[in-house]
Structure 1
Amino acid sequence: MAGEVIDPSLRKVRRLARDPSEILRERFERLEETDQKLFQTGPLVLGVNSSFCGLIANNYLRRALNLTQARLMSAVPMAVLPFMSTCLVYEAVVSQPLMEGDLNCATCAFVRGGLIGAVVGCLYPAFIAIPLNAALADRYLSAPLPSKENMLRYWLAVSKPVYKKLRFAAILQFALGTYLASKQHGIYIKMLQLPDPGRDPEEFSE
């Protein structure tokens, strides 16, 4: 209504009741460009490394199964699926909770980032490489596949050396995921320390 006088205390309550994610987004835009880029591109770096892990696991399994055909057919999904899965899971479990103010525990962020890097970024690509190359080996008859009774034992024997060779990659992915989560959490702390430009100076002294 025209001429309505709004109580200053009411204005303060409305300001304090704002969505925390909205406040964090505003403060994010006020960060240095390097911090913004690191927060936004960090998961992509982890995803690219996941693609390499997928291609390495795919290469090891192709050698074990004597596969020489359909290189592109097996390489494309082993590069794309790990990349997309790692980026989406990291965004949902680390980046988004930070931007919504729901991940205040630094240790929790570090553990989440490390596990996503090791499990989703390395072990998962090695796991999905098994059915893909099994189907190709069956199609091109590159290796004699066992009967249904011995299927589990056979694939355990085939995949065990692959997982052993990927242990170092899993450690690197865990370290990278932990590092990225620590940097993002540090940026989150910077956002919390920025003053809200819309607040009254009286609120800082309270």
Structure 2
Amino acid sequence: MEHNQENTDRRLRINDVIARKVKQLPESDQNLLMTGSAYVGVNAAFCGLTANSFFRRILNVTHARISSALPMAVLPFMSTYVIYKTVVSLPLSSGDLNCEACTVIRGGLVGLVIGGLYPVFMAIPINGALAARYNSAPLPQRGNIWTYWIRVSRPVFRKMAFPIMLQTAFAAYLGSKQFEVIIKAFELPEPGFQFEDIQNKSSTQLNE
């Protein structure tokens, strides 16, 4: 019990030290840590709007432009923003993530899956429902639903390949830059605190 309390106190102390160090950084570096997840979210919103536009053209949907565009922008933005912040930005800022390769991989995966693929897949049911409602395109019978949507989605995924890869690369690059900012913060002087304390914190968490 005492050991757990000691570890908790040590984590709080490290988090407090990191917060003070980050505040000493230039404003541009602080903004990169604070708003980086929003940049990835904005790119995800663009991916959603682009995929939505492609599906609308294929399915000849001309109605409900705003009602279909709104969720295709807001939901990818919010999902990507929250998940990137949760798995990359916050762990970096709290000292729970101290591996550059891990940071880049996490950022890239969030950009690929949540910021790139998720908006495209989300556009399928939204535009399918609109096509059914306004009878803008002949929809499949129950027996060949999967074949139909695979055929419809294939050209969209081909066109979205570059935006998705760009989103993946951007999120990975952003993770790398945020890691550099945290390392810069760690190098600032702090009495009684060393970078090894962060490594020991991560090791303690793994052991638990």
Give the Cα separation in 1 of the matches to 2:169 and 2:10. Answer: 38
Q: Deviations over 1:70-94 (max 9, x none)?
A: 0111000001011111110100110
Which of 19, 23, 26 in structure 2 is aligned with 1:29?
Answer: 23
Give the Cα separation in 1 of the matches to 2:17 and 2:123. Answer: 43
Question: Who is 1:192 aligned against?
Answer: 186
Which of 140, 145, 152 in structure 2 is aligned with 1:146?
Answer: 140
Give the Cα separation in 1 of the matches to 2:134 and 2:106. Answer: 40
Q: Deviations over 1:130-161 (max 9, x none)?
A: 00111111111111111111111111110111
- In the alignment, structure 1 residue 103 sits paired with structure 2 residue 102: no
Q: How does 1:52-63 map to 2 (within 5 A)?
A: 52-63=46-57
Residue 170 of structure 1, CA deviation = 1.1
Residue 51 of structure 1, CA deviation = 0.7
Letter of the aligned partner of 1:156 in structure 2? I
- In the alignment, structure 1 residue 70 sits paired with structure 2 residue 64: yes
Give the Cα separation in 2 of the matches to 1:39 and 1:196. Answer: 20
Residue 196 of structure 1, CA deviation = 1.9
RMSD: 1.8
Q: How does 1:34-49 map to 2 (within 5 A)?
A: 34-49=28-43
- Percent identity for Structure 1 against Structure 2: 51
Give the Cα separation in 2 of the matches to 1:165 and 1:38. Answer: 30
**Tell me, what secondary structure is at the counterpart of 2:186?**
helix
Structure 1 residue ranges without an equivalent (≥5): 1-12, 201-206
Say if 1:65 and 1:39 are closer, same or farther in 2 by CA, change over 3 A. same
Structure 1, 81-90 or 39-48: larger mean CA deviation: 39-48
Q: Which aligned segments of 4 or more residues in structure 1 are displaced greater than 4 angstroms?
A: none
Question: Who is 2:10 aligned against?
Answer: 17
Residue 178 of structure 1, CA deviation = 1.1
Structure 2 residue ranges without an equivalent (≥5): 1-5, 194-208
Give the Cα separation in 1 of the matches to 2:88 and 2:72. Answer: 24
- In the alignment, structure 1 residue 51 sits paired with structure 2 residue 13: no
CA radius of gyration, larger in: 1
Structure whose residues are more often helix by fraction: 2
Give the Cα separation in 2 of the matches to 1:147 and 1:114. Answer: 38
